[in-house]
Structure 1
Amino acid sequence: MTLESLPLDFASVRAALRDGASPVDLVAESWRRAAACAHDGIFTALVPRETALAKAEALQARAAAGEALPLLGLTFSVKDNLHVAGLETTCNCPAFSILPEESAPAVARLEQAGAVLVGKNTMDQFATGLNGTRSPEPLCRNAVDPDYIPGGSSSGSAVAVARGLVAFALGSDTGGSGRVPAACNGIVGLKPTLGLVSTRGLVLNSRFFDCIPVFALTCPDAYEIFDLIRGHDPLDPFSRDDADTIGRAQRPEGAEGPATLAVFRPEEMPFFGDDVSRRAYEANLAVLAGQGHRFREVAFGPFAEAGRHVFQSAMVAERLVEYGAILAERPDAIHPAVRDAIEAGAAYSARDAFTALYTLRQLKRQAAAMLAGTEALVVPTVPTIFTIAAMLAEPMALNTAMGTYTYFVNPLDLCAVTVPGRARSDGLPSALCFIGRAGEDATVAALAHAFSAV
């Protein structure tokens, strides 16, 4: 197999290294692929070729000297709201530009482990959207069918992995941005428990909801990256004190074998007229049933109510902390749909915010009781996939629909991973999302990996 046709999953890259390919060769090939797509709306910026190759050469020398570099030969990209020293952070809004001197801890850890950054990825502007069309032209296109949305807001990160430009990517996830684009493009999207990965160096939408997800081609690849970037950060006030120990990517002892999985009552689940999507979800559940898993139906209502708090409550006012200045000074620089979403926060009072926090606490307790006795909640990651034309014609309602089964996860402090499911009859990807309690990342990892292996 030539490097030009090499898949960039970790196993294939490591096999190429064993067969004589050098880390420099692998980085050069990944950079070549990214540069060939430079005008496809996937990247906002590429690392200069000479810089990427110089880093690869330095890593190659360190490995030759005996240093352990677990990610040697692997390349990655990051969403353009994560800081990388020396590269502009724009959140896909050129008027909003930060030149950081220090990389986000997650990025720094990956580079220390031997990975080489190729570029920064496009996104729904200010990470406000779940569809991938809220960005400057050219729009990022779905990797499976370019007529369809790539999902957002981490659109470029997911597409870069799905198209084989990089081995993995990082994004951000407030209401589903680490899961929706993964589902739309047929790859894995890992959303960790809040506070397990430092969000320092991330331009935040919400300190309460935000986390850094991983996009990869396989579950083992995604969780290998997760285990490298996770950990307590004393400089991040929202970092969990136990982040170094909980949620390790192994299923807890005694949890082997079939599990009891929660599912929503079928009659309460919207698919927005997409019967193909509904049938794909039923086929995915049939695979789980074939593995011996049992299902317990729970009401969708409390989860849907929690999800509405991401964009339809006073919690949206938190976005004014980061984006209030540019909204006031350069409203014309903001995508109209994004501007509408951010401006909505100004209508809420402090009393509204406290009421929202109280309500979420009640819903969190209610959801915990409903999920007691189950190992995970299993949902279709997205209810449907819209065309770009349909999304542009009805941007607010259709965007909200994309978050039907993702919005509630972070407000309820749950962890999740989405993996490709059985192919839809129309050729579009289907995806199944495994959702677990905070700290139970290992459980959802094992369930998702077992499902993917069938």
Structure 2
Amino acid sequence: MMTATVPALDLKSIAAAYASGATSPTQLVQALYPQLAAAKGMFIHLAPLQQLLQRAGALEAQPEGSRGVLWGVPFATKDNVDVAGMPTTAACPSFSYEPQRSAPAVQALEDAGGINFGKTNMDQFASGLVGTRTPYGTAANAFDNRFIPGGSSSGSAAAVGAGLLCFALGTDTAGSGRVPAGYNGCVGLKGTLGKISTVGLVPACASLDCLTVFSRSVDDGAAIMAVMERGDAGPADVWRRSSPLRHTYSPGAPLQFKFGVPGPDFLDWAGPGGHAMAAASATAFAAAVARLQGCGGSLVPIDFSPFAQAAALLYQSSFVAERYSGLRSFLDQPSAGGAEEGAQAPADGGVPVDPVAAALLQQRSLVTDARLLPVTRAIISEQFTATDAFDDKARLAVLAAAARAQLCVVDCLLVPTVLEHYLLQEVADTEAQEPPSWPLNAKNGRFTNFVNLLDMCGIAVPAGLLTVDYAKPEAASSAQQRAERLAASGGPLRVVLPLWLWGVAAAMEQAAGLGCGPRGHGVAPVAVGQQ
């Protein structure tokens, strides 16, 4: 347990504790390190204690007048973002390398005084929203370790939700900076495309990737992102854009605003949790809508179909080919099972194979590439033509125009971050098949996949609690297998999990009255067995 010298790990509390002398960066490192080291599956690389103590000592030697706004603040970085002196693996051991310099956004945080504890676990190559697609174990869901932590930024969100760090960096292409925030009860903040430098980020889809932050509050997230925004790689920042509008963040919502929500056809709460979980989710979402109306919002009917159709494009069209493109220099190496060498060999008569045909042959060979997890292979190896890419780009343009027409009548959207909590075993049941399938992961992206494709920003904020007692017959009858698995775990049959939304975030956060993680929600975490 934390000692009396460890403050609440939000920015204001840390600063106040340092100012009063209640603790110091060295003492905070010493107090947090054992807990982080004991958190199985949370880190891929945890910095050595001595290295962190040296960093704390160097900060303490700085004159007070030269200390940055994040002086002594503990954080961590997702393991597809470069940190000098620490390996980058993207949860693929064969891909591992040690960068010479940190990503500009990370460097900005360290220049401001942050203490980077290490590299957090993730779905391999950021290809997932479940948090289980990793050879490094699975980070424990902060509320109940029988459930998935969400992904792909699983370790970062779990660390903040568990109250072990002030903030952690994630990335977001399809929802990886928001879905795990929802599952772990913390804030997940994602800007528009190009707001934060993505130099030093292992690409998932380079044109859609965003660097994100998990924090304990909306205020903290906004302050941290402002520091990240300072990071700049100059001409190398090919995806960086400056917004023509400069906004100064202020908490709370405008006095009057309009918002839209998905229609009933899109709010499919049904799942392995059964009728009781679906009913609790629907009730909680309705309460959140009412809460936002109480903050000054007017609910305006919208057509959500263009957003839903755009979301489907991300994994069901040629847009997925960018995942192969971003990793091509690694995937095309001869170690990919030997098929690459054959693909590049001259044809009969010494005539080289057509480069396009060779590339397609190499991509096809990924289905046997042992360096990748089976689900990662299945996603990245799917093939499309150049014509497909232009067709899908045109389809997205039509959908984006339709979405903009809907956004003209509202100031924001209020949606569930995801629709259901899943047990670890429920995800494994489908993804361990041959060939693997991922219906639960796909459903997790229903309200997040469209955001980057349509160049929107998003934020996940705690909005309530879902409580279902699977010991009751009416709950167990509709989800018998889940009830049996919960019973077999040896843990409680009554589950308490967070509900998640993003919208006018600071007002929602204040109205909900919920803090970060289980303790901020007023419940005790469930940890059954060894994760």
TM-score when normalising by structure 2: 0.79
Q: How does 1:13-412 map to 2 (within 5 A)?
A: 13-20=14-21, 21-37=23-39, 40-64=40-64, 66-231=65-230, 233-234=233-234, 235-242=236-243, 246-250=246-250, 256-273=254-271, 274-328=278-332, 329-330=335-336, 331-344=369-382, 347-395=383-431, 396-412=438-454
Offset at residue 277 of structure 1 (A): 1.7
Greater mean deviation of Cα atoms: 317-326 or 199-208: 317-326
Determine the C-alpha separation between the residues in 1 that align with 2:467 and 2:321.
Answer: 41
Unaligned residue ranges in structure 2 (runs of 5+):
272-277, 337-368, 432-437, 469-495, 515-531
CA deviation profile, 1:54-89 (whole Å, cap 9, x unmatched): 11111121143x213111121100110000011110
Q: Is the 8 A contact 2:203 2:327 kept in 1?
A: no
- Assess if the C-alpha contact under 8 Å between 2:44 and 2:136 holds in 1: no
Mapped to 2, the partners of 1:59 and 1:334 lie a distance apart of 40
Report the AA paired with residue 411 of structure 1. Answer: L
Q: Which moved more, 1:142-151 or 1:15-24?
A: 15-24
SS in 1 for 2:180: helix
Q: Which has the higher mean CA deviation after the structures are superposed, 328-337 or 101-110?
A: 328-337
State the partner residue of 2:472.
Answer: none
How far apart are the structure 1 equivalents of 2:173 and 2:79? 15
Q: Which has the larger radius of gyration?
A: 2
Letter matched to residue 13 of structure 1: I
Q: Distance in 2 between matches of 1:185 and 1:278?
A: 19
Question: Equivalents in 1 of 2:279, 2:329: separation in Å?
Answer: 44
Give the deviation of 1:354 after TM superposition. Answer: 1.3
Q: Match for 1:415 among 457, 469, 493?
A: 457
Question: Partners of 2:63 and 2:180 in 1: how far apart?
Answer: 34
* In structure 2, distance between residues paired with 1:383 and 1:343: 28
Asked whether the equivalents of residues 179 and 418 of structure 1 are also in contact (C-alpha less than 8 Å), the reply is yes
Q: Distance in 1 between matches of 2:143 and 2:299?
A: 31
Aligned-pair CA distance for 1:364: 1.4
CA drift of 1:175 comes to 0.3
Distance 1:53 1:240 in 2: 37
382-391 or 55-64, which moves further after superposition?
55-64
Q: 1:424 aligns to what?
A: 466
Scaled by the length of structure 1, the TM-score of the pair is 0.92
Distance 1:119 1:240, change over 3 A: same
Size of the aligned set, in residue pairs, is 437
Separation in 2, partners of 1:180, 1:63: 40
Q: Which residue pairs with 2:524 in the alignment?
A: none
* Greater Cα offset, 261-270 or 41-50: 261-270
Give, in angstroms, the shift of residue 326 of structure 1: 4.3
CA offsets 1:240-285 (integer angstroms, 9 cap, x no match) = 1338x63442379xx7213111111123322234232222211211
Is the CA contact (8 Å cut-off) linking 2:41 and 2:137 kept in structure 1?
yes
Aligned 8 A contact 1:320 1:342 in 2: yes
Alpha-carbon distance in structure 2 between the residues aligned to 1:447 and 1:336:
42
Read off the aligned partner of 1:36 and give its amino acid letter: A
User: 1:4, 1:392 → 2: CA distance?
Assistant: 41
3-state DSSP of counterpart to 1:169: strand
Partners in 2 of 1:251 and 1:310 — Cα distance?
32
Cα 1:419–1:446 shift into 2, 3 Å: closer
Report the residue type matching 2:88 in the other structure: T
State the one-letter code of the partner of 1:52: L
- Checking the alignment, whether the CA contact within 8 Å between 1:262 and 1:376 is kept in structure 2 is yes
SS in 1 for 2:94: coil
SS of 1:214's equivalent in the other structure is strand
Taking the aligned partners of 1:116 and 1:230, their CA distance within structure 2 comes to 18
Query: Which consecutive residues of structure 1, in runs of 5 or more, have no partner in the other structure?
Result: 435-443
| Contact 1:3/1:29, CA 8 A, preserved across alignment | no
CA 143–351 in structure 1, closer or farther in 2 if over 3 Å, else same: same
Query: Is the contact made by 1:268 and 1:299 (CA closer than 8 Å) also made in structure 2?
Result: no
SS of equivalent to 1:143: coil
Letter in 1 for 2:20: D
Counterpart code for 1:379: V
Query: Secondary structure of 2:44's partner?
Result: strand
- AA of the residue aligned to 2:308: A
Contact 2:461/2:505, CA 8 A, preserved across alignment = no
Contact 2:6 2:28 in 1 (8 A): no
How far apart in 1 are the matches of 2:440 and 2:249?
A: 34
Shift of 1:173: 0.4
Q: CA deviation at 1:187?
A: 0.5
* Alpha-carbon distance, 1:450 to partner: 4.5
User: C-alpha deviations, 1:23-43, integer Å up to 9, x for none?
Assistant: 221222222321222xx1000
Q: CA deviation at 1:105?
A: 0.5
Alpha-carbon distance, 1:399 to partner: 0.6
Query: RMSD across aligned C-alpha pairs, in angstroms?
Result: 2.0
Q: Which letter maps to 1:313? A: S
- Give the stretch that moved more between structures: 322-331 or 190-199: 322-331
Structure 2: how far apart are the matches of 1:60 and 1:122? 30
In structure 2, how many angstroms separate the alpha carbons of the residues matched to 1:323 and 1:117? 26
